[in-house]
Amino acid sequence: MAASAVDTRTTPTHCPYCALQCGISLDPGPGAEAREPVLLAGRDFETNGGALCRKGYSAGNLLNHPERLRTPLRRAADGGFEPVGWDEALDVLAQRAADIRREHGADAVAVFGAGGLTNEKAYQLGKFARLALGTARIDYNGRFCMSSAAAAGNRAFGLDRGLPFPLADLDAASMILMLGSNVAETMPPFVRHLEHARACGGLIVVDPRRSPTAELCADGSGWHLQPTPGTDLQLLLGLAHVLLAENLVDDQYLANRTNGLPGLRASVAGWWPERVAATTGVPATEIRRTARALAAAAAAAKTGGGGVFILTGRGVEQHTNGTDTTTAAINIALLLGLPGTLGGGFGTITGQGNGQGGREHGQKADQLPGYRKITDPADRAHVAKVWGVDPETIPGPGIPATELLHTLGTESGARMLMVHGSNPVLSSPDASKVLAGLRRLDFLVVCDFFLSETAAEADLVLPVLQWAEEEGTMTNLEGRVLRRRKALEAPTGTRGELWILAELARRLESPGTFSADAREVFEELRLASAGGLADYSGVDWDDLDAGAAVYWPCSAEHAVSRVPGQRSGTPRLFLDGFAHPDARARLIAVFPGASGGDLHSAGRLALVTGRLLEHYQSGTQTRRVAELAGAAPETRLEIHPATALAHGIAEGQRVAVRNGRGEVVARARLTTAVRLDTVFLPFHFAGKQNANLLTDSAVDPISAMPAFKNASVSLHALGDES
């Protein structure tokens, strides 16, 4: 996508994809009235420094895409779709919701949101569900990617923010331990923040694949630990064992700032390196080397050396023990004395564009705006006052995403579902169950700008705005609140989701008020969040427009500066204490549970899923960009050459990947980047290429995160004709 010189029509905004929220400039170009060509360029911003990945550079191609939805679509008698006017579409939707509520109860209508919605849309969606629909049944796709890290952060620190420090703090790091994250493909501009650690030889990547991120260590910039899939927790217990057994911990920090050391010490005593090596496949020498290197770097950081950071991603979190595994990583950071200091810290890498803000303001089953608990009487009273309703009007907690989706159309499940910004037919675990549930519903409504695989199942599809056509705010992986700015007029026939929700609330005679104006909704969000853990009450819209760097929590008492680049709010959490009542962090003993079913049984291979450089999430957008689809047109099964030989599989051959949940057909790509006992599939593709036909719907008992990374499969070579 061509770049353009900045002129009066150029709008500074942010990329629509991942949580880096890279700075971009958007210019309608000379053909503005026809909306093409759209000129998009990287803008100097702290997370990306002007660089963009392939997805970001091509994002403008989708704004006037020929498959863009431009009118509401209703299911016709012949099974296809027919266009319908907005008034008729909303009248039908409101009537069906009212009828189903009357016949089956309020919880028979459910809502499923997304971590890509603006803060304002996430906030108003939660409010709409609870007031206009009266349902407790609301959750969102962030349950699939951030819930275990959030649960671990809350119980250890009392507060969850993906990175509790600015991303730029990594720029001076001497050592970074990265667990289960492949930023080189998922968010390439992130790599620039790893360069100093690499120069110090201090980038350590833990991944069962030799991913492009792990490849960054290949030139002596660090080292790669390649554990058996499903054994990350044992590896972390082994590292903690070495730190304690060799007295490499920060005793003063532990005494002054933490609780729980005796229990933790006892819990890791039995995980000596040789035992861990037998379970994980990581040599005992490498376990000791890693623990000692982390301790030495942490000690040096306290005397002026570069910082030490521990970062986690979905690879260690998407398991039934994901909360405990993330907790084990936090324990190591605390043993080293890192969180809440200027010498390093712990963080988790948020994935979706507004994965941070999307989980703060009320579209999660158990939360109200500002990270307030829906079960807390004081929290309910505060939000009810802002909404102008009695606290008893607000329903109690709902059910998490996997349960919500897998019970659709059953006696205990919802009869109607509204989906906003998500594609659960592809993105949910054990996806065939979700598809079956959607088809059992009495009524399915999907808001999207393309006819996604989920929208194709709907009774009513509502065409909504894209990122460059709307105003609002987003919160990136650092907890920094950003302005999304309108740069283009929306195509005729599309509508913003704030407008849709306001119109539906009016038709349903909802209590409270619903605005279609993003700034008005933001002002209400500020009031609703005031005093909560995620306090936005001191964040000013005009300050964001002026370029101020504002990080939550930011109460009304925080001084906010409009000076571009000058930080305000709370860029670094926990410097003065953790968010527990005693201001101390919790060291929490965690233990490996039962093994992951038949993950490593004879004749089976562990399936690892993840993203490709060219695609994003379910691929609804990126599979429609010609240059991205051309580079990665179909799913590929990464398999070790020796494993392929044992199964009679050749390079490029089509392979059936099977387990008790389903079958995926993929072309084989032979590579030594995967272990002999492991295969890899990306999760961006549809139909028989959908990796989530194979993934496990068992969930973490604390976070309700599905065990996406805990499937085992068998392989069957197919002939070319298949």
pLDDT in tens, 616-632: 999 999 999 999 999 99
What is the amino acid identity at position 59? Answer: A
CATH code assigned at 233? 3.40.228.10
Same domain, 37 and 117: no
Q: Domain boundary residue among 578, 613, 640?
A: 578
Gyration radius of the chain over CA positions: 25
Which residue, among 139, 148, 700, 617, has the nearest Cα to 405 in the 3D structure?
139
Check residue 593 and give its pLDDT. Answer: 84
Rounded Cα distance, 259 and 572, in Å: 21
What is the pTM (predicted TM-score) of this model? 0.95
Q: Domain boundary residue among 349, 372, 395?
A: 349
| Residue pair 121/420 in contact by the 8 Å Cβ criterion | yes
| Three-state DSSP class for residue 52 | coil
Q: How confident is the model at residue 3 (pLDDT cuts 50, 70, 90)?
A: very low
Check residue 631 and give its pLDDT. Answer: 93
- Tell me what the mean pLDDT of segment 424-443 comes to: 97
Task: For residue 302, give both structure tokens.
Answer: 């306290």
pLDDT in tens, 163-193: 999 999 999 999 999 999 999 999 999 999 9
CATH code assigned at 94? 3.40.50.740
Residue 612 inside a domain? The answer is yes
Same domain, 441 and 360: yes
Same domain, 115 and 50: no
Residue 589 inside a domain? The answer is no
| Residue pair 298/336 in contact by the 8 Å Cβ criterion | yes
Rounded Cα distance, 703 and 323, in Å: 7
Instruction: Report percent pLDDT > 70 for the chain.
Output: 95
Convert 23-49 to b/e letters by CB count within 10 Å (16 or more is b).
bbbbbbbeebeebebbbbbbbebbbbe
Q: E strands along 165-243, which residues?
A: 175-179, 203-206, 222-225
Check residue 547 and give its pLDDT. Answer: 87
Residue 4 inside a domain? The answer is no
Residue 477 inside a domain? The answer is no
Q: Does pLDDT of 208 surpass 90?
A: yes
Return the number of other C-beta atoms located less than 10 Å from residue 375's C-beta. 12
Return the number of other C-beta atoms located less than 10 Å from residue 376's C-beta. 11
CATH code assigned at 38? 2.20.25.90
| Residue pair 637/691 in contact by the 8 Å Cβ criterion | no
Count of domains observed in the chain:
5
221-226 contacts at long range (C-beta below 8 A, 24 or more positions apart): 221/197, 222/197, 222/198, 223/286, 223/289, 223/290, 225/282, 225/286, 225/290, 226/281, 226/282, 226/675
Same domain, 526 and 541: no
Q: Does pLDDT of 199 surpass 90?
A: yes
Rounded Cα distance, 517 and 547, in Å: 21
Check residue 1 and give its pLDDT. Answer: 36
Same domain, 195 and 239: yes
Q: Domain boundary residue among 514, 533, 552?
A: 533
pLDDT in tens, 492-522: 999 999 999 999 999 999 999 999 999 999 9
pLDDT in tens, 540-570: 999 999 888 999 999 987 655 555 556 689 9
Same domain, 135 and 92: yes
Residue 586 inside a domain? The answer is no
Residue 6 inside a domain? The answer is no
pLDDT in tens, 288-316: 999 999 999 999 999 988 999 999 999 99
Check residue 254 and give its pLDDT. Answer: 98
Residue 284 inside a domain? The answer is yes
Same domain, 568 and 701: no
Rounded Cα distance, 439 and 644, in Å: 38
Check residue 562 and give its pLDDT. Answer: 53
Rounded Cα distance, 231 and 293, in Å: 21
Sheet of 11-14: strands edge to edge? Answer: 11-14, 23-27, 39-42
Instruction: Report percent pLDDT > 90 for the chain.
Output: 91
Q: How confident is the model at residue 36 (pLDDT cuts 50, 70, 90)?
A: low
Q: How confident is the model at residue 161 (pLDDT cuts 50, 70, 90)?
A: very high
Same domain, 235 and 313: yes
Q: How confident is the model at residue 391 (pLDDT cuts 50, 70, 90)?
A: very high
Same domain, 383 and 527: yes
Alpha-helical (H) ranges within 187-225 are 195-199, 212-215
Same domain, 318 and 379: no
Greater model confidence, 592 or 34:
592
Residue 565's domain spans which residues?
A: 534-578
Rounded Cα distance, 623 and 612, in Å: 12
Same domain, 503 and 398: yes
Residue 598 inside a domain? The answer is no
Same domain, 526 and 573: no
